[in-house]
Copies of this chain bind each other. A is one copy, B any other.
């Protein structure tokens, strides 16, 4: 059984705090292993890449080549069904439209001291997209990472994906083709991250690396951070559903299980104000589990990390939600906007009973790469901004420089940086 908390119990606060503190990931210390792999690929390039790929994926790159070429992508696209192709294209179009609205504005203005100021946005020149292989190979993730990069104007979007025993999901390659990925390589793990960061004979280095991966991939991204940019380090997925009793328990149970089926470490939490409704949802979860193909994953996730929290009043939900700072938040209540206005920390908010989180995973258009593990307190979902950067622009003339001169020289002197002061005074003939 999943956890059950009630705000009327005297130990509610301590039990809620314990729920907050639950660790859902074992953090293997793979740093040393990864450090050796990264150094080796950096030193020996393709040869090292081939050795690690032979060892970990049982694939001989000398035979099949490092690159997955256009003909292989076209073959993959031909292999999937027409319905799948249409769904990918539909999703791609919607993601593109949503993200096009995120393109930031340049600015240029003259302020009251006569200084011309502003900034200019430009695209990151090249981006590497890590795509996990095996069962976690999600074509939707390819779209969610590659489409915003293309909208931003990234010149070169490079995808790496491991092909254990030579296997690769045709949908993943088809998604790459539909998203306009420029290059695809059949490598994975820390070795692929190192290749993207430092380059090899075959793979030119990129400026930024994004995309989810296992502990080795995460450690490698952390290690190459600085040489290249990286996106967030993603943890297991999670949802908080706030639902009153005017909901169909089957709908809410389905949403809790949609999150739970991702990963045994995923977390689904229901917050409601009705104990009877809570019971109905709990029963519906158990009933739906009996026919769920991924019950072997969803059941332990629900059992170990799921929770139902019963409050006296859903008006008390916002501070609890903010402490959880969930990746996904569903508000299945009569006035979801009013409740949303009282909540500050969430990756994405799904408003009303007809907005199951799953639409956000695929086709709503918003990005499904969202901050996990309470990081919605300080970070955002993936956006076009992650693939652009800003250059500040400044221009003085003799008059405006004179207006800034005294304060500049005072502060430079206070910091003991005389050459700073001189670079101003030499221009002012002082």
* Cross-chain contact A84 with B414 (CB below 8 angstroms): yes
Given contacts A394-B364, A418-B293, contact A90 B355 (CB under 8 A): no
- CB contact list, A190-241 vs B, under 8 A: 207-208, 222, 225-226, 228-229, 233, 235
Stretch of A56-64, A177-185, A339-347 at the chain-chain interface: A339-347
* Cross-chain contact B229 with A233 (CB below 8 angstroms): no
Residues of B within 8 A of A379 (CB): 229, 389
* Cross-chain contact B229 with A378 (CB below 8 angstroms): yes
Please give the distance in Å from A302's CB to the nearest CB on chain B.
11
Given contacts A84-B414, A373-B226, contact A391 B347 (CB under 8 A): yes
Q: Determine whether A36 belongs to the interface, using a CB cutoff of 8 Å to chain B.
A: no
Residues of B within 8 A of A251 (CB): 423, 426-427
Please give the distance in Å from A209's CB to the nearest CB on chain B.
9
- CB contact list, A332-355 vs B, under 8 A: 336, 340, 344-355
Kindly state the separation between the CA atoms of A116 and B375 in the bound complex, as whole angstroms: 25
Q: Determine whether A261 belongs to the interface, using a CB cutoff of 8 Å to chain B.
A: yes
Q: Which residue of B lies closest to A331 (CB)?
A: B395
Q: Which residue of B lies closest to A400 (CB)?
A: B354
Residues of B within 8 A of A138 (CB): 415
* Cross-chain contact A401 with B355 (CB below 8 angstroms): yes
Q: Determine whether A245 belongs to the interface, using a CB cutoff of 8 Å to chain B.
A: no
Number of copies of this kind of chain in the complex? 2
* Cross-chain contact A416 with B135 (CB below 8 angstroms): yes
**Which of A119, A344, A389, A412 is the most central at the interface, judged by chain B CB atoms within 10 Å of its CB?**
A389
* Cross-chain contact A419 with B351 (CB below 8 angstroms): no
Q: Determine whether A6 belongs to the interface, using a CB cutoff of 8 Å to chain B.
A: no
Kindly state the separation between the CA atoms of A376 and B392 in the bound complex, as whole angstroms: 11
Please give the distance in Å from A418's CB to the nearest CB on chain B.
5
Q: Determine whether A383 belongs to the interface, using a CB cutoff of 8 Å to chain B.
A: yes
- CB contact list, A242-271 vs B, under 8 A: 248, 250-251, 254-255, 257-258, 260-262
Q: Determine whether A272 belongs to the interface, using a CB cutoff of 8 Å to chain B.
A: no
* Cross-chain contact A416 with B294 (CB below 8 angstroms): yes
Kindly state the separation between the CA atoms of A361 and B86 in the bound complex, as whole angstroms: 53
Kindly state the separation between the CA atoms of A327 and B140 in the bound complex, as whole angstroms: 36
* Cross-chain contact A392 with B427 (CB below 8 angstroms): no
Residues of B within 8 A of A416 (CB): 135, 293-294
Interface residue from B124, B349, B367, B376 paired with A389 (Cβ < 8 Å): B376
Residues of B within 8 A of A273 (CB): none
* Cross-chain contact B411 with A375 (CB below 8 angstroms): no
Q: How many residues of A contact B (CB 8 A)?
A: 123
* Cross-chain contact A367 with B392 (CB below 8 angstroms): yes
* Cross-chain contact B393 with A389 (CB below 8 angstroms): no
Given contacts A225-B233, A228-B378, A254-B423, contact A355 B395 (CB under 8 A): yes
Residues of B within 8 A of A373 (CB): 226
Kindly state the separation between the CA atoms of A422 and B138 in the bound complex, as whole angstroms: 18
- CB contact list, A375-419 vs B, under 8 A: 375-381, 383, 385, 389-398, 400-401, 404, 406-408, 410-412, 414-419
* Cross-chain contact B354 with A427 (CB below 8 angstroms): yes
Kindly state the separation between the CA atoms of A412 and B318 in the bound complex, as whole angstroms: 31
Q: Determine whether A164 belongs to the interface, using a CB cutoff of 8 Å to chain B.
A: no
* Cross-chain contact B124 with A406 (CB below 8 angstroms): no
* Cross-chain contact B390 with A139 (CB below 8 angstroms): no
Stretch of A11-19, A42-50, A107-115 at the chain-chain interface: A107-115
A101-138 near B? 1/0 per residue, CB < 8 Å: 10000010101010111010010110000000001001
Q: A356-B423, A358-B421, A362-B412 are in contact. List 8 more A-B contacts (CB 8 A).
A: A84-B411, A91-B407, A91-B411, A98-B111, A111-B365, A117-B365, A288-B422, A362-B411
A-B residue pairs in contact (CB < 8 Å), sample of 22: A84-B414, A87-B410, A101-B109, A125-B344, A125-B345, A222-B225, A251-B426, A254-B426, A257-B422, A257-B423, A258-B423, A260-B419, A336-B395, A349-B394, A351-B393, A358-B421, A360-B392, A363-B407, A364-B404, A366-B392, A376-B389, A380-B390
